[in-house]
Amino acid sequence: MVRPVPGAGTGKTYRCPGCDQEIRPGTPHVVTWPAYARDSDLEPWDTGSAADWRRHWHTACWRARDRRR
């Protein structure tokens, strides 16, 4: 799942997994998470959801993710 976040919708600093740089408050970006958690990702007693795997990306880094090593 991918959701765009407008700059006005942010109040925290995040770390982009694509470039390892900060996403400062007020910067438009995207939030991604798996649609469903894979069984192998969760321990039997884990009550977390796929939303626990959210990651905040710069929009350009998200678009270029397939071109990175």
What confidence score (pLDDT) does residue 15 get?
97
Average pLDDT over residues 2-18: 90
Query: The tokens of 28 are what?
Result: 């438009």
- Does the pLDDT value for residue 68 go beyond 80? no
Average pLDDT over residues 35-49: 59
Cα–Cα distance, 28 to 49 (Å, whole number): 25
What 3 state SS string does the chain have?
A: CEEEECHHHCCCCEECCCCCCEECCCCCEEEECCCCCCHHHCCCCCCCCHHHHCEEECHHHHHCHHHCC
pLDDT digits (tens, 9 = 90+) for 43-67: 555 555 666 789 999 999 999 998 8
